[in-house]
Amino acid sequence: MSDSLFRALDMIEPGDLVLYHGSITSHHGLWLALPCQCRDCLLADELGLPVARFALVDPWGERSGPCHARRESVTRSAACG
């Protein structure tokens, strides 16, 4: 119960501002999280598998961010909480 509650609170909705802190250190920072649209994720979606990967988009549109980022690699920004 507490686990599911925690997950609900920690959920990232498409368009949320997130902090990326994954393996690509040059991309650490603030991004907009969108559902990953790569072939693997679309396929998993079709199969009904839970996909928790994100494509990260620059809120200012200046650079392209990492895609297929793991859920563990992003944290919802306190700015939108």
What angle is formed at CA 81 by the lines to CA 59 and CA 61, rounded to 5 degrees?
0
CB atoms within 10 A of CB 35: 16
The one segment of 9-17, 25-33, 61-69, 71-79 that binds Zn ion by CB under 5 A: 61-69
How many residues contact Zn ion, by CB under 5 A?
A: 5
Of 32, 36, 56, 69, the one binding Zn ion by CB under 5 A: 36
Question: Is 41 an interacting residue with respect to Zn ion (CB under 5 A)?
Answer: yes
Which residue matches tokens 């920072």?
A: 29
**Interface positions with Zn ion (CB under 5 A):** 36, 38, 41, 53, 68
